[in-house]
Amino acid sequence: MENSLLYPCNNRYRDSRLLDGLWQFQFDPTAKGKAQHWEKGLPQPLKVPVPGSFSELFTKEQQRDYVGDFWYETNFFVPRGWEQTTLWVRFGSLTQRATVYCNGVELTTHEGGFLPVIAALSSVIRLNQENKLVVQLNNELNETSLPCGTQKILPSGRKIAKPYFDFFNYAGIQRSVWLLSLPQVAIQDYSVTFQREEENALVNFDVQTTDSNSVQVRLLDAQGKLVAAAHGKQGTLRVPHAHWWQVRNAYLYQIVIQLKTETGEILDEYSDRIGIRTVEISGTKILLNGKPIYLKGFGKHEDFAILGKTFNWSVAKRDFELMKWSNANCFRTSHYPHAEEWYQFADEEGFLIIDEVPAVGMMRSTHNYVAAGSGKYTHFFETPTVPQLKANHLQQINEMIVRDKNHPSVIAWSLFNEPETTSAYAKEYFTEIFTKARQYDPQKRPLTGALEKNSQPDKCQCFPLLDFICLNRYYGWYISGGADIEEAEQLFQQEMEKWKALNLNVPIVFTEFGADTLPSEHKLPSSMWSQEYQCKYLKMNFHVFDNYDFVQGELVWCFADFQTAEAIMRVNGNRKGVFTRERQPKDAAFMLKQRWETK
């Protein structure tokens, strides 16, 4: 069950308690916690909120920019009635890596900061007494971890992060923590795939359980009426006149899975909301339910003042309202899998998601946004640490797909953002990544990855691996910006002509294009950083996109301004947001709203 990433669900057979609240917390800059047995209790703890990103909470730079080990602790009681069940703790994520202890005993370790961590508690738990849950975390970056980066030691001996990526390295317990009570014999996982038969749908299911008891699967419509039922761990539900899950018109069914004994006694039940839809690539089109769809929207970060990367329902609600207002239909979870609740929201609201693994920074540069357009070879995949990196990369792709496979909103998997792709080393690396990843998704959704400017049609060795091509391009910003924007358009057209000449017969989606813009700046005529320039820049890009019918999507960088490491090209973070960090529109938002109304 450690492998069961199913989202918590409460019913007669399953129960859960949130452990969110104020926890104890301690930095461990000399990494002495283990030797001093902090797993038994923290010696001098502070109090911090869980979920929370610690960096946004404190007033000293040593705390905000802290890199190294740090520990969390809380106490809990096992609720009454849970005695005969199996007990688990489930973290939505632990960033970047962690070891989990309960009552002084190590339960599990996990690498990677954006996917769930589950640990079995039953063997160490004390009923009728307080139990101590302690987590040791570490937020160092290296070249085998995802995302990639490094550390620097300052003259004082203090360590700071040097990410090879352009967002703040927020860390901590940033998503909810649940105590779970599950039956002794349980449903471990399930997956669904869909086939269209004119207006009817076939829903094929595959259920994994901890033993060989029998399984019943029922499908209920939005009114709770039974529409199909079947027995067995694998099978097919036939749904006559199916309501298809569509963009901004999301119809969700309820799937109810029961695990039963021979005599019909129910041992476990899991239910979930699913949408029936198909996704495929056909020539230069992306098809949803067999019909072409043009992707309109944003690259998105999990980022907000004070919260950092903490999931928050109100921020999520506001973001979906803004995306609906702007007539968007899609976003990319750049550059890591977001909290599960984002996907639930997207399922309900009918938004499409390109789900991205944290493979960002695979380019040896702490200013990747500069290196990305420089044309210089940035090295990466030729070092002896590559096998470890590859193992982590595959593990996280697998965990992401296991976690998110049943969300109708997820239409594609992005397996990287802007790596070095021009060397034979990169080709070998990504050939293995894509070949293995193709086996993970029962729905066989398209695989892609976002390519930076150095990944030109005549240089990139990896684009043939992608089912549709995602391009991040900054013509008019990093390349020929401001007064040179005319030249930018020409250079952009020249590159597009090269893609066209290859006659690839696959869609191209722009997953990044954007200009830093300060909401305080207005300029007539426009100049860089002003709101007018952001509009001019976007219009120029649209002018180019609209010339090519194989361009099948435009996701602006970025949905909202976000925090990054300090740098001379960053004004309190990256300001390419169409919305401010406080989620108010810049002028460009009104322009996008208008374009996307009819596009």
- Residues at the interface with ligand BDP (CB under 6 A): 165-166, 335, 368-369, 372, 417-418, 452, 472, 512, 557, 574, 576
Which of 56, 512 has the CB closer to ligand BDP?
Answer: 512
Which of 239, 371 has the CB closer to ligand BDP?
Answer: 371
Q: Give the residue from 530, 524, 519 showing the smallest Cα distance to 572.
A: 519
Distance CA 4, CA 191 (A): 12
550 Rama class: left (phi>0) / alpha (psi -120 to 50) / beta: alpha
Which of 103, 368 has the CB closer to ligand BDP?
Answer: 368
The least CB distance from residue 521 to ligand BDP, in Å, is 17
Phi first, then psi, for residue 60 (nearest 5°) are -105, 145
Query: 3-state SS of 120-141?
Result: ECCCCCCCCCCEEEEEEEECCC
Q: DSSP of 226-291, one letter per residue?
A: EEEEEESSEEEEEETT----BTTB---EEEEEEEE-TT--EEEEEEEEE----EEEETTEEEETTE
Phi first, then psi, for residue 416 (nearest 5°) are -165, 160
Q: DSSP of 195-235, one letter per residue?
A: EEETTEEEEEEEEEESS--EEEEEEE-TTS-EEEEEESSEE
- Number of neighbours of residue 318 by Cβ within 10 angstroms: 16
Which of 409, 455 has the CB closer to ligand BDP?
Answer: 455
Q: Name the residue number minimizing CB distance to ligand BDP.
A: 369
Which of 289, 417 has the CB closer to ligand BDP?
Answer: 417
The least CB distance from residue 552 to ligand BDP, in Å, is 20
Residues belonging to the active site: 418, 512
Helix (H) or strand (E) holding 330: strand 330-332
Q: Do 406 and 274 meet the contact criterion of CB atoms below 8 Å apart? A: yes
Residue with tokens 């070092």: 383
18 Rama class: left (phi>0) / alpha (psi -120 to 50) / beta: beta
Q: Give the residue from 135, 57, 40, 50 showing the smallest Cα distance to 97.
A: 135
What is the token pair recorded at 450? Answer: 């976002």
Helix (H) or strand (E) holding 448: strand 447-451
Which of 88, 557 has the CB closer to ligand BDP?
Answer: 557
Which of 270, 430 has the CB closer to ligand BDP?
Answer: 430
Helix (H) or strand (E) holding 398: helix 386-404
The least CB distance from residue 576 to ligand BDP, in Å, is 5
DSSP state of 465: G
The least CB distance from residue 366 to ligand BDP, in Å, is 12
The least CB distance from residue 48 to ligand BDP, in Å, is 27
The least CB distance from residue 525 to ligand BDP, in Å, is 24
The least CB distance from residue 542 to ligand BDP, in Å, is 18
Which of 85, 417 has the CB closer to ligand BDP?
Answer: 417
- Number of neighbours of residue 345 by Cβ within 10 angstroms: 17
Distance CA 245, CA 306 (A): 36
Which of 209, 472 has the CB closer to ligand BDP?
Answer: 472
The least CB distance from residue 300 to ligand BDP, in Å, is 11
The least CB distance from residue 65 to ligand BDP, in Å, is 19
Q: Strand, helix or coil at 25?
A: strand
